[in-house]
Amino acid sequence: MIKKILLIYTGGTIGMIRNKESNKLIPFTLDSLLLSVPELQNDELIIEYKSIKYPIDSSNMNTHVWVEIVDIIEKKYHEYDGFVILHGTDTMSYTASALSFMLENINKAVILTGSQIPIGVRRTDAKENLITAIEIAGMEKVNEVCVYFENQLFRGNRTTKINTEDFEAFKSPNFPVLAEVGVKIKFNNYCFKKSNAKFTARKNLSNNIAILKLFPGIKIEIIALIMKNVKGIVIESFGAGNATNDPKLAKLFEDMINKGKILINVSQCIHGNIISGEYESSAPFENKNIINGKDITTEAAVTKLMYILGLTNNDSEIRAQLNKNLRGEVTC
């Protein structure tokens, strides 16, 4: 059966082709891509191409572009068997996490991929990443937002970028890979099953949030200033969820919660969980209204907060949703 895949180009290293006349790297068109990767030309695949209005370096990624991507998928949802998003690596995990929340009850693969070296360069890793991402998107075995990179398929909202130089740029530190690619593509038993619920695109996000990374000697006054000007705060604490046991910090957290602030505690460590009460230094986070982020990544915590703040203004409902495992982003 012929599969139709929509390639969505957002920018990034992967989409650069060398112009033969100027010898400079320029963003590709679908025609130039197919010429560069002839393996994509076959009778079993129909690949069509759509670019966001203004392709960007992924460091310029923002909520408006996420909405644009979701809008494309929503409008084309019934026309294609799967979607592959070409994206720069620097913020790919943020985008994958955001899309996982915004695309509710999706029953098709949405796979983000990119490369460390442009597709127009001889030693590029882009060709394998692109070919395999498209292959998986057409297999009807994946029903969620994923990242494919360097022979591994990850749940998108479990990923983080760990390396700027190696081809193995991403890891899923607290969740197994969905598939491993060698001679064969071996799927593990962690992919979501198809949902009977209706696909819904959620496009209302709030960026009225901040990340607060604790460090030894951080001033309580600085923490207060950061919290004062936003609704939601992702706090990157030490180890299993620890901070200075200065009573002023616990009092500040309590005051901010009373003012309607939403606090979620995540670990600065790549691997492991937030464990409340494990150490005396976890005391500042014992307030029951501070969300225990468990093993969520910072990228997923940020985008989950954006998503939920865009759904409701009710603080109790916001906290209730943050405590749920919505898209497989935390381990129950």
In the chain, ranges of CATH 3.40.50.40 domains: 209-322
In the chain, ranges of CATH 3.40.50.1170 domains: 3-201
Mean pLDDT over residues 141-170, rounded?
A: 95
Residue 28: pLDDT above 70? no
Kindly report the pTM of this predicted structure: 0.94
Highest mean pLDDT: which of 36-40, 44-48, 77-81?
Answer: 77-81
Q: Which pLDDT score is estimated for 220?
A: 96
Q: What percent of the chain has pLDDT over 90?
A: 75
Do strands 179-181 and 152-155 pair parallel, antiparallel, or not at all (unpaired)? Answer: antiparallel
Residue 177 neighbours by CB under 8 Å, 6+ apart = 152, 153, 154, 188
What pLDDT band is residue 31 in, cutting at 50, 70 and 90? low
The conformation of residue 164, written as its DSSP 8-state character, comes to: S
Tell me how long the chain is: 332
Residue 22: pLDDT above 90? no
Active-site position among 13, 95, 113, 159: 13
Residue 69: pLDDT above 90? yes
The fold of the 3-201 domain, in CATH, is Rossmann fold (3.40.50)
What pLDDT band is residue 119 in, cutting at 50, 70 and 90? confident
Strands (E), the chain: 3-9, 16-18, 25-27, 45-51, 82-86, 103-104, 109-113, 145-149, 152-155, 160-161, 170-171, 179-181, 185-187, 200-201, 209-213, 232-237, 262-267, 291-292
Residue 48: pLDDT above 80? yes
Residue 134: pLDDT above 80? yes
Q: Which pLDDT score is estimated for 29?
A: 66
Residue 30: pLDDT above 70? no
The fold of the 209-322 domain, in CATH, is Rossmann fold (3.40.50)
Question: What does the angle CA 158 – CA 161 – CA 166 come to, to the nearest 5 degrees?
Answer: 135
Q: Is 13 a catalytic residue?
A: yes
